[in-house]
Structure 1
Amino acid sequence: MLGVTKIDRILRNPSLGLIPLLVFSILICYIDSLIAVGVALILSLIGLIAVKTRNRLIYDISTLTFLMALLLSFTSLSDRSVLSKFVVVETIFVILLIFIRLSKGRLLTIAARDRDKAAKNLLKESFRVAFQSQYSLTFHLLLILLYFATGNRDYPNTENTFIINIAQIIIIGLIFVESTRLHLMRRRLFSEEWLPVVTETGQVTGKVAKSVTTDLKNRFMHPVVRVALMSKGEIYLKERDQMRVLNPGKLDYPFERYMQFNDKIDDTVKKIFRKECGSESLPLRFLLKYTFENEVTKRLIFLYVSEVNDEEQLKKLNLEGGKLWTATQIEDNIGTGIFSECFELEFEYLKNTLLLAQRFKKTL
């Protein structure tokens, strides 16, 4: 299955549809042009069979090009020089690329009816390579035209080969650039954080990249796990990282994390504790679930509490940059803008439940 996946990734590169033209440009310099056209046509047909419909645009063009070249091989074209034969094939290829460009709107309209978004993206990738190929090969044809315009009619074989070599460099460059771009894109997607899109009840309806949803602000709702760390009736708070989407620099719990797509809440809590204090064995209790929305974010928040009343255990957590706050200290500063919005909402609940219970225990 892994091998199939790798092959599928390779075949997703639409620039590989240029390989038949590259092979033809090499073979025509050494063997009969009819055989060179036949080999290129076979490679094009293999591409048509192996590659998905929306991603084989360049193979379609290549197949049509070499079918036409095959027919022309039985005409007076067979008596022409190697360079002339290649120019004819390259010209056909470029003309078909131009035709495809003019048909882009209609083809994309047809693709828009397809519910498969991946197929539409593959078609757009194919158009990208088609346009790049059109511009690059047209430039090469202009160079050949300039060469012919010099008036030299001898066309030595070395010069013919050099001109064809330029086309080969262009084709290899197009394949290299597209392959590199797709590789970098795959690496970025692999390292990307994918967040589930949820309803207010917690039902997952899809996923979106974190970098994308940040720009879209509160368009989608994502689940966020928060853990309040308490010790003997006090709450540990520290400044939120400046890279946070919501309330950077405000005082809050150190334990907050977006749930990742396909992650369970328990997995997210473990990642939180592992990142902040290197431990996954803290006592934990679920408190409540609620929705939060402002102009920059929309969240379905799962609030947990971890009560650590043993001082030695608390020291082992290696927490840095924060401190324990008493309920009185927090109440004196509520509304001054130093706490995060979520914390101020949750504090009212904590004050009337856990903190109230702690005060009650002290009076016994």
Structure 2
Amino acid sequence: MRRSLKYLFYIFTVHTILVFYATFFLSKEAWAFISGGLFYILFGVYFLFELYRQRKKSKELRGEEWVPLVDKKGKITGQAPRSQVHNGSKLLHPVVHLQVINRNKALLLQKRSGSKLIQPGKWDVAVGGHISIGETLEQALKREAFEEIGLKDFSAKLIKTFKWESEIEAELVYLFTTYDYKNIRMKQDSTSSKKMESLNKYSDEVDEIRFWTKKQIENHLGENIFTPNFEMEFQLLKDLKLI
């Protein structure tokens, strides 16, 4: 609405200047056209452009992923396309995060793809993603775990629900933990028969996944290696004595 008013103001201003110019420097015929016919032509072109832009935008939104909007208690209040919850509008939407912990209390982290819009190339929680419209927490968690790291048939525990806000979005985060990763898709380490440290790239959204010890993570905190939300969750896991 604000942008439309701005464009209308520009058109009106330019037209007014042209009318004054025609009054003193052009013929009566030119003045009559500029003050009358040109006015309707300019506004006609503008409204046709706006109609085209709105139809194009509506078509794009129909083909886009939509996510539910919630209040701070998780109650659904509406829905919006994914692009609109990542544009600084701070529309609160629910997401699931899964911290995968091994027997040595090391954390499985994923390196976000360099093509990601948010925090590209940084290490992050093993699994994280939006809850789709109509999905339960458990359904969203299972889907995201399989899509991002190939993990399936696992059990998980909800340990915390909190609001996370950045410059471009606001999320209601449902944080889960699991020690059950036996069905994760792995690859053989080139120097060992053990399937522990080296895991394959499973998703186009993930460049790499591997376990990090508590000490390794602490040595790199604040160095722009990890996402801000992971660093916050790492401290939360320590406070709860889970690592």
Shorter-chain TM-score tier: 0.5 to 0.7
Work out which structure has the larger RCO, using CA pairs closer than 8 Å and 6 or more positions apart in sequence: 2
Shift of 1:246: 3.2
- TM-score under structure 2 normalisation? 0.63
Q: What is the total number of aligned residue pairs between the two structures?
A: 181
The answer for the alignment partner of 2:171 in structure 1 is: 299
**1:219 is the counterpart of 2:90:** yes
Take 2:184 and 2:134, find their aligned partners in 1: how far apart are those partners?
A: 32
What is the deviation of 1:285? 1.1
**Hey, what's the Cα distance between the residues in 2 that align with 1:280 and 1:212?**
31
Cα offsets for 1:264-292 (capped at 9, x unmatched): 21221121122123343112111100001
Supply the AA of the counterpart residue of 1:326. T
Q: Which residue of 2 aligns with 1:143?
A: none
Consecutive unaligned residues in structure 2, runs of 5 or more: 1-39, 188-198, 202-207
Q: What one-letter code is carried by the residue in structure 2 that aligns with 1:252? A: D
SS in 1 for 2:242: helix
TM-superposed deviation, 1:220: 0.8
Greater strand proportion? 2
**Structure 1 residue 333: Cα displacement:** 1.2
Structure 2 CA distance for aligned equivalents of residues 203 and 243 of structure 1: 32
Q: Compare 242-251 and 265-274 and name the one that shifted more.
A: 242-251
* Stretches of structure 1 lacking an aligned partner (at least 5 in a row): 1-100, 105-126, 133-177, 357-364
Out of 203, 218, 221, the residue aligned to residue 334 of structure 1 is: 221
Q: Which of the numbers 233, 236, 240 marks the counterpart of 2:108?
A: 236
Aligned position for 2:70: 198
Q: CA shift at 1:295, angstroms?
A: 1.5
1:253 corresponds in structure 2 to: 125
- The code of the aligned residue for 1:339 comes to F
Quote the Cα distance in structure 1 between the aligned partners of 2:200 and 2:126: 9
Query: CA 1:210–1:287 in 2, change beyond 3 Å: closer, same or farther?
Result: same
Post-superposition Cα deviations, 1:312-357, rounded to whole Å, max 9, x if no partner, equal x45558643121110111111111221111111111121233535x
Q: Determine which structure has the larger helix proportion and give its number.
A: 1
Q: Secondary structure at the match of 1:272?
A: helix
Larger radius of gyration: 1
Q: Per-residue CA shift, 1:68-122, capped at 9, x if unaligned?
A: xxxxxxxxxxxxxxxxxxxxxxxxxxxxxxxxx9xx9xxxxxxxxxxxxxxxxxx
Instruction: For residue 355 of structure 1, give the secondary structure of its aligned residue in structure 2.
Output: coil
Q: CA RMSD in A?
A: 3.1
Aligned residue runs from structure 1 range 178-197, under 5 A: 188-197=60-69
Rate the CA distance shift 1:315–1:267 in 2: closer, same or farther, 3 A: closer
Choose the corresponding residue for 2:237, options 321, 333, 350.
350
State the alpha-carbon separation in 2 of the partners of residues 246 and 262 from structure 1. Answer: 25
Q: Is 1:284 matched up with 2:171?
A: no
**Letter aligned with residue 223 of structure 2:** T
Partner of 1:271: 143
Paired AA for residue 230 in structure 1: I
Paired with 1:347 and 1:279, the residues of 2 have a C-alpha distance of 21
Percent of residue pairs bearing the same amino acid type: 24
Query: For the structure 1 residues 348 and 251, does the alpha-carbon distance in structure 2 shift closer, same or farther, using more than 3 Å as the test?
Result: same
Give TM-score scaled by structure 1 length: 0.44
What letter matches 1:198 in structure 2? V
Q: State the alpha-carbon separation in 2 of the partners of residues 298 and 238 from structure 1.
A: 21
CA distance in 2, matches of 1:295, 1:273: 26
CA distance in 1, matches of 2:146, 2:209: 17
Matched residues in 1 for 2:63 and 2:227: separation? Answer: 29
